[in-house]
Amino acid sequence: MPAAPIVPTLRGTMFRTSYAVLWRDGDGPVSAGKLVLGPTSLRLETGSGHDRTSSKVIRYADLTGVANAAPADRIRSRPTAVLDRTERERLSIAAVDGMGSGREIVERLTSRLAPRTAA
């Protein structure tokens, strides 16, 4: 599998655009796959390569908040981001490859909310 694309940020730090993750809608079952952060939305994909079995797209405009999950609310004890959404259940996303990726996901999603909440 090729490495995820890296994009520069305003601070000069490099961030990936995709991550291996686990996720859960509300209290539903845990799914495994890939999180892709795009310019206006995020996409959660299951499956691999050309055999993607499902894809869920969530617009950043539909997010009302992003926070780190409390230890008791983590998915399989992994660092987990909790996304509050307009008129939808919370979405929890856990980075498979560790604490640094979990923090990076929360930071990147929070930055998508900043322009809307600062006004």
Q: What is the pLDDT of residue 52?
A: 60
User: Beta strands of 69-113 (E only): which ranges?
Assistant: 80-85, 88-95
Mean pLDDT of 66-75: 94
* CATH fold for domain 6-118: PH-domain like (2.30.29)
Residue 73 DSSP SS3: helix
Q: Which of 72, 81, 69, 90 is nearest to 110 (CA)?
A: 81
**Model confidence pLDDT, tens digit, residues 48-67:** 666 667 889 999 999 999 99
Mean pLDDT taken over the chain: 82
For residue 85, give the nearest of 47, 44, 52 by alpha carbon: 44
In this prediction, residue 28 carries a pLDDT of 93
Q: Mind listing the pLDDT tens digit for each residue in 14-51?
A: 456 899 999 999 999 999 999 999 999 999 998 766 66
Q: What are phi and psi of 73, to 5 degrees?
A: -100, 5
Please list, in sequence order, all residues whose beta carbon lies within 8 angstroms of the beta carbon of residue 82, skipping any fewer than 6 positions away: 66, 67, 68, 69, 73, 90, 91, 92
**Domain-wise residue ranges, the chain:** 6-118
Q: Answer for the pair 34, 24: CB distance below 8 angstroms, yes or no.
A: no
The pTM of the full predicted model, rounded to 2 decimals, is: 0.79
Q: CB-based contacts of 111: which residues, under 8 Å, 6+ apart?
A: none
